[in-house]
Amino acid sequence: MSHVSSHSSNGQTPLRTVQVLGGGSAGSSAHVRSLAAGLVARGVRVTVCAPSEAERAYGFGDVGAHHLAVPRSSDPASVAALRVACADADLVHAHGLHAALRASLALSGRRIPLVVTWHTRGYAEGARAHLLRMLERRVARAASVVLGTSSDLVDRARTRGARDARLAAVSFPLPRHPEPFDDADAERARLKTRAELGAVDRPLLMAVGSLQRHRGYDVLLDAAHAWMALDPAPLLVIAGEGPERAALQRRIESEGLPVRLAGRRDDVAELLPAADVAVLPSSWESRSLLAQEALHARVPLVATEVGGIPELVGEAAELVPYGDAPALARAVERLLSDPGRRAELKDLGSAQAASWPTEDATIAQVLSVYDELTGAV
């Protein structure tokens, strides 16, 4: 590494960075953990300002970062805590819109560079959509550099007034659980998981993500009607929790759908390899964690052709228009009846996953941005 600023061995003070994380999706939290580990290993001082529950789940302290508990709130006390944390920083890096807003408030009046990574985009309707646009504009203009995790997020940041917006290299966060040692172990684990989920003699479809309207689960339930005619009818398991749970459960029961809501699960890395097909029906995604996990685990994927999905998966998934339940149903049915195509998608998925940025590439990009902004030679 030629990043002089990141090393203290040449007598220079190490670069001091603060990473700010709000609620933190699984993707952004895992990214910050990976980033913190890589930066610390290269001699950078890292403080992670994040809620205590994020530290418990992701262990930023375990990789050598200093964790400072800052709640996910824009109240004056949280901003003041952040302001103190950033007082001696050379650079602040915020992840997500709300974290970026708080960081920009904490840095007001200071000449400390602010890097913002947009991992995803917000969802709002009516008056709240106007507020969201204002928030995006404020954050885009406050940032020295905006890193977008997909090309359309980079474009969005530019339309919101970002001075400098670039495509972020984001590595796939490998599951923190050990993977089975050999094929026999993997197959035993797969059969055990299928038995637990109730899919012993029938195909298993898996969707993962918070139960919110933009995830497209209403369309997925429409598609499930078509699968009831199959023999045997596949079981669709949706892992996730959220405000749409009650409405989805009512539909599943009243329409007699072969669907099970599995709630929030922390063992998706074990659940997913048991599936015959993974399904991603969202209205928008950037670097979908489910898509990455499915391709990495060699699980054929049917996904909506939205946001950053096409550039993430390439030719390694079946893509359908958002909101088109018949197209979604047909794509899944075709895969279930075509073992050859499933095998082809598994191999394409492995090749695509191997093309994604490595952790080293991600950290090298971030360090080069830091060096640029802190005037390192």
Tens-place pLDDT, residues 122-154: 888 889 999 999 999 999 999 999 999 999 999
Q: Which fold has domain 4-171+357-374?
A: Rossmann fold (3.40.50)
Q: Is 321 exposed, middle or buried (0-12, 13-18, 19+ CB in 10 A)?
A: exposed
Token output for 61: 């302290």
pLDDT, tens digit (0-9, with 9 covering 90-100), for 200-249: 999 999 999 999 999 999 999 999 999 999 999 999 999 999 999 999 99
Q: Which residue has the tokens 């917006």?
A: 165
- Pairwise pLDDT comparison (8 vs 344), residue with the higher score: 344
Determine contact, residues 186/180, Cβ cutoff 8 Å. yes
Res 12 pLDDT > 50: yes
pLDDT, tens digit (0-9, with 9 covering 90-100), for 165-188: 999 999 987 665 555 567 888 889
Check if 4-171+357-374 and 183-355 are the same fold.
yes
HEC secondary structure over 196-222: HHCCCCCCEEEEECCCCHHHCHHHHHH
Residue ranges per structural domain of the chain? 4-171+357-374, 183-355
- Pairwise pLDDT comparison (173 vs 325), residue with the higher score: 325
Supply the DSSP string of 132-190, one letter for each residue. Answer: HHHHHHHHHHH-SEEEESSHHHHHHHHHTT-SSEEEPP------SSPPPSSHHHHHHHH
CA distances from 179 to 56, 60, 85 (A): 22, 22, 37
Superfamily, domain 183-355: Glycogen Phosphorylase B; (3.40.50.2000)
Q: If we measure between CA atoms, which residue out of 232, 319, 324 comes closest to residue 279?
A: 319
Report the DSSP beta bridge partners of residue 224: none
Polymer length in residues for the chain? 377
CB atoms within 10 A of CB 317: 25
Q: How does the average pLDDT of the chain come out, rounded? A: 92
Sequence-ordered list of residues with C-beta below 8 angstroms from that of 77, at least 6 positions apart, any chain: none
pLDDT, tens digit (0-9, with 9 covering 90-100), for 25-34: 777 898 999 9
Determine contact, residues 79/86, Cβ cutoff 8 Å. no
pLDDT at residue number 181: 60
DSSP state of 263: E
Secondary structure class of 278 (helix, strand, coil): strand
Helix, strand, coil proportions of the chain in percent (round to 5)?
Answer: 45, 15, 35
Res 11 pLDDT > 60: no
Work out the average pLDDT over 66-90: 91
Q: Is 323 left (phi over 0), alpha (psi -120 to 50) or beta?
A: left
pLDDT, tens digit (0-9, with 9 covering 90-100), for 253-288: 999 999 999 999 988 888 999 999 999 999 999 899
Peptide bond between residue 51 and the one before it cis (omega within 30 degrees of 0): no
Determine contact, residues 265/238, Cβ cutoff 8 Å. no
Supply the DSSP string of 50-102, one letter for each residue. Answer: E-HHHHHHH-GGGGTPEEEE--S--SHHHHHHHHHHTTT-SEEEEESHHHHHH
pLDDT at residue number 74: 77
Q: Which residue has the tokens 């001091």?
A: 16
CA distances from 325 to 154, 224, 300, 328 (A): 30, 9, 18, 5
Res 308 pLDDT > 60: yes
- 9 pLDDT band, cuts 50/70/90, is very low
**Cα 108 from Cα 98, distance rounded (Å):** 16
**Cα 349 from Cα 35, distance rounded (Å):** 25
Determine contact, residues 136/104, Cβ cutoff 8 Å. no
Res 1 pLDDT > 90: no
The number of CA neighbours under 13 Å toward the Cβ of 328 is 27
